[in-house]
Amino acid sequence: MSLEKQRNILVTGGAGFIGSHLVDKALATGDRVTVLDNFNDFYNASVKRSNISAHLNHDNYSIVEGDLRDKVCLAQLFSTGPFDVVVHLAAMAGVRPSLENPALYMDVNVLGTQLLLEQIVQSADKTRLVFGSSSSVYGSRSGERFLETDRVDQPLSPYAASKAANELQCYAAHHTAGLDVACLRFFTVFGPRQRPDLAIHKFCQAIDQNETINVFGDGLSKRDYTFVFDIVEGIWSAMQANLSGYEIINLGRSEPVVLLDMIRSIEQALGKEAKLVHKPFQIGDVPYTYASIEKARQLLGYNPKTKFDDGIRQFVEWHRNQRPKTTAPA
């Protein structure tokens, strides 16, 4: 392995989309990985079970099925430490669902994160926390790149508000207890294992099955779509780079893609045409995301390599492999 000693790593949400890819890398590198995941019903838990199926028999892997808000579970988890690095990815995710149940988002994301921070601070002096934040904290913007120094005090959804609050919680833990923290603001991650509620996955599924797609607004909104392997490389660098103190760092591709162009890319990869239904722009959505990644390049050596269309092709290939297999008649 590339490091001098085996690290003991905790990944919360490590059975999910991004987390399971990170675990793949950590196990391949030789680190010991513990995952905390509650396998909730936000989407079919069998998806997460599939994500971790290759991990379960690995000697350096263990999983705890539990909730961030369960103090007893957290105490037992940290009794197996100390952890050299904690990567905190567990959260109630999604802008639109947060509009329907804001109290749940605050309970899980804010209270759960606070309880986790308390355990980290109590357990060891040298743990590094890498926190998975979101570009949604920037709110409604247009025309310019999002800088880590920009104001983030006007979130457009409870989910965005919870992530902004999490960053403040992390800073308080750094200030009061000296915890080293890297808050990584992810910009619209996509790729194999992507959650089924996210746009690229939903659109691919609908186009493949000749169903209609709801396009909210005029289709000219833009997202800084970032391939999951590039995000994982950014997380990995934050886990071991020469960082100290508290840092906020964007992880994006810095090349926004128009929504209609995203749909066209999926059409080309599938070889099928989309059926679009235009609907009014939704509350909570932002029209534009565009990451400045100079800080990530400087501090992490971050260099996203996957072009958008190439990432779409990889996603479509994965999607096709997930289709139910049919048995030919005898």
Catalytic amino acids? Answer: 159
What distances in angstroms separate CA 320 from CA 226, 265, 300, one per listed residue? 21, 16, 34
Report strand pairing: 189-190 vs 222-223. unpaired
Sign of the C-alpha dihedral computed for residues 136, 139, 140 and 143 taken in this order: negative
Distance CA 155, CA 141 (A): 11
Decide: 103 and 154 in contact? Cβ < 8 Å: no
Distance CA 323, CA 36 (A): 28
Sign of the C-alpha dihedral computed for residues 65, 114, 225 and 25 taken in this order: negative
Q: Which two tokens stand for residue 244?
A: 């100290």
